[in-house]
Structure formats: C-alpha cells, structure tokens
C-alpha cells in the first residue's frame, strides 16, 4: 500500500503538469509575419566559439544567407581560447568581427561563455543581441521573425526553437527525443508566464535591458546559465515582455553529441544550475521530475525483492509514457520529427537513469566541458 501511495503522490502531479504543458503549448500563438512588414531593428549576432573549426564555417555560411538587410545586423565571433583553426576560419568571412578572449581576459574565471557574450555585447552596435552557437545552422528568416515580434509589442527577451540536425545513431535519436520535450516545455512555459527554460542556441534580447538588470552580475560565477539565468533576471523586471517565437522558419539546428559520455557531460552541465533560480516554482517542478525518476528507479530495483511491485512499476511507466506522448505529439509535429516518437517508449529506462545520474552530479559533482573541468 505504501508503494502505491508514494507512486501516486509523485505520478499524479507530474501527469497534471504535462497536461498543463500540452494546454500551454496549444495556446502559444504561431508567429506569422505580414508580407508588408518592413524590418528596422538593428541586431548584433554574438557567437561564442571554442575549438569549432569543423562547424563554424557552416554556421557562418548560414548567416551569410539571412533574409535581412545587411546594414541592420553585424556578426561577432567571440573566440574562447581555441587551440584549433576556429579564428582563422571565422576571419575568412569579411562580414564577421572576430574577438579573442585571450587578448581581452587576464584572469581565470568559472564561466568563460558568459564572459565571451558579455564582452561581445560591449563591442556590439545593435539594439538587440542575438546569440547562437558555433555548431548551429540558422534559418534565413531568423532575424526577420525576431524583428517582427520586437516591432509588434514591447520586447526584452525572445526564446526561440532549437532542434537536432540529424539522428543517425541511437544516442542521437535519444538526444532528439529528450530535446523535443525540453523545447516543448520552453514554449509552453514562456507562453504561460512560467519561464522555466530556453536555449542559448536561439535567443534574442534587448541590449538596453541587459544592462538595466546588470547583465550576468550575480550569476557570473555559475559555469552555465548564460541563457536561462539571464531570462529569469529579465523576466523579474519585465514580466510582460518575455516572448517565444513559435515559428517553423525560426528553428535553429544544432549538432548532437556523438557519444553517451559526451551526452552525460552536457546534461550534467545543464543540471548544474537547477537550484540557482529565484523563482521557486521552477525548483519545485524540477524537484518533482527528479523525485519521480528516482522513485521509479527505486521501484524497479525493488522488483528483485518484492515481485508484486513489478505490476505497479509497469503501470506507472505506462501512465508516464502515455502522458509524455500526449504532450509531445504536437511538439514533434511542429518540429517535423513525429517519426522519432516510435522509439519513445524504448527510451524510457535510459531516460530515467540519466535523469537521476545527471541531476545528482549536476548538484554535487564536477563536469568537463570542452577541455575544462568545472565545478
């Protein structure tokens, strides 16, 4: 009876949360740009890069094909102590300004990416900052859609969609499925005014507002969080001016990691900021998700000793899977990745284990990212 009670206490609120996410996703309006729209917003695209010689050329090629007036945007690549040909590759593009942290920074810090973005903003001339990663491909209407939102309503921050480039291995399929859920939650939570997620591969924010909230001050000691922690600072001061760009032609494509080990390092890095939010609602949601996965793992282990628990475990997994698929169906349709959902039930065991491990190590462990060990 106790096993059933504890399972219900965690699974019921989790299911309700997913139903709310599904509702909020459906209520988030799709961005449709009027054909007569004339953009006037000036953007500064900032791309932090560390050892990205294999990816940055394709990224900058996609930016070169943007459907946006050249005089209204600039591109700044912030090199983070690369030891390969990242700088030389970026310098081949005449429209790109390349700045190197090694010439601008003399101290050892914990968040080089935040510092790279901050120094890029200092050097920028645009009114709005747009960030992406050096391994990303941006769509041609990227800035056009941002400008439409900015010129239609008061805006200090826009979160926007990101998807994996390809899924040609089991770990990449798993990443893409996991990423779909994160992207769906991003859109749903922003649309609901909950603002629990965003991704630095596709962001836009006001430079003036960035300085008004003192930029990354107060969160600059945290290695990750150049995206979500900044969003929360801006939301706290401008609660009605944070938006989501729900447009298929705004989807930025990012490179999936190649190995299970690299995947864990990435997710541990993401999990490391879970308890850093001022909005305790977010912490409660993250705690609920974590405790549910811990409990399901405990329940699975208990089946070796209490055979009757197997039926409860299968029932709980079934309810969890159905609720998650109900939420994910419209999200996958938006990203045109419905074909991946057939693998979703098979991914459940790995997802539970990874959530428990990454959540624990994100809080209490170290992780390595691009050759650096970070606490």
Confidence at residue 2, expressed as pLDDT on a 0 to 100 scale: 85
Task: Spell 278-308 as b/e; 16+ CB within 10 A means b.
Answer: eeeebeebbeebbbbbbbbbebbebeeeeee
Measured distance CA(30)–CA(38) in Å, rounded: 19
Token digits for 95? 């429209």
Confidence at residue 37, expressed as pLDDT on a 0 to 100 scale: 94
Beta strand pairing call for 128-131 and 203-206: antiparallel
Measured distance CA(245)–CA(342) in Å, rounded: 28
pTM above 0.85, yes or no: yes
Q: Which residues pair with residue 49 across a beta bridge?
A: 79
Please write the tens of the pLDDT for every residue from 277-293: 666 778 888 899 999 99
**Helix (H) or strand (E) segment spanning residue 321:** helix 309-334
Quick check: 10 and 290 in contact, CB under 8 A?
A: no
Confidence at residue 373, expressed as pLDDT on a 0 to 100 scale: 61
Confidence at residue 218, expressed as pLDDT on a 0 to 100 scale: 78
CA atoms within 13 A on the CB side of 357: 14
Give pLDDT tens digits along the chain (375 positions). 788 899 999 999 999 999 999 999 999 999 999 888 999 999 999 999 999 999 999 999 999 999 999 999 999 999 998 999 999 999 999 999 999 999 888 777 767 888 899 999 999 999 999 999 999 999 999 999 999 999 999 999 999 999 999 888 999 999 999 999 999 999 999 988 876 689 999 999 999 999 999 988 877 666 666 688 899 899 989 989 999 999 999 999 999 988 988 888 888 887 776 666 666 778 888 899 999 999 999 999 999 999 889 999 999 999 999 999 999 999 999 999 999 999 999 999 999 999 999 888 877 766 666 665 665
3-state SS, residue 363:
helix
Give the residue among 216, 221, 250 at the shortest CA–CA distance from 233: 216
Residue with tokens 């050759």, as numbered in its chain: 371
């Amino acid at each position: 009876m106790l096993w059933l009670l504890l399972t219900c206490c965690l699974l019921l609120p989790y299911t309700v949360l997913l139903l709310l996410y599904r509702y909020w996703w459906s209520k988030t309006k799709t961005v449709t740009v009027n054909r007569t729209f004339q953009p006037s917003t000036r953007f500064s695209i900032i791309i932090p890069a560390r050892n990205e010689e294999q990816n940055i050329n394709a990224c900058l090629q996609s930016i070169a094909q943007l459907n946006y007036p050249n005089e209204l945007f600039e591109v700044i690549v912030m090199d983070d102590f690369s030891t390969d040909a990242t700088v030389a590759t970026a310098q081949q593009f005449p429209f790109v300004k390349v700045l190197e942290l090694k010439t601008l920074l003399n101290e050892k810090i914990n968040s080089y990416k935040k510092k790279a973005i901050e120094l890029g903003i200092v050097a920028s001339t645009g009114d709005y900052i747009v960030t992406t990663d050096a391994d990303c491909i941006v769509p041609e209407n990227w800035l056009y859609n941002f400008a439409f939102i900015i010129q239609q309503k008061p805006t200090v921050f826009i979160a926007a969609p990101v998807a994996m480039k390809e899924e040609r291995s089991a770990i990449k399929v798993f990443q893409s499925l996991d990423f779909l859920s994160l992207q769906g939650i991003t859109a749903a939570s922003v649309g609901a005014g909950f603002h629990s997620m965003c991704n630095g591969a596709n962001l836009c924010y006001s430079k003036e507002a960035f300085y008004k909230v003192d930029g990354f001050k107060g969160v600059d000691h945290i290695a990750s969080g150049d995206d979500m922690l900044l969003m929360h600072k801006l939301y706290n001061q401008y609660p009605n001016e944070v938006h989501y760009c729900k447009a298929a032609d705004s989807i930025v494509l990012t490179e999936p990691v190649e190995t299970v080990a690299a995947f864990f390092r990435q997710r541990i890095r993401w999990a490391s900021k879970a308890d850093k939010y001022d909005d305790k609602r977010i912490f409660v949601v993250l705690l609920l998700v974590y405790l549910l996965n811990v409990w399901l793992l405990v329940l699975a282990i208990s089946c070796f000793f209490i055979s009757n628990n197997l039926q409860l475990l299968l029932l709980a997994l079934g309810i969890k899977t159905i609720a998650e698929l109900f939420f994910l169906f419209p999200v996958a349709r938006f990203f045109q990745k419905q074909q991946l959902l057939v693998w979703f039930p098979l991914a459940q065991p790995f997802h539970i284990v990874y959530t428990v491990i990454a959540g624990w190590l994100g809080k209490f462990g170290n992780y390595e990212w691009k050759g650096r060990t970070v606490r």
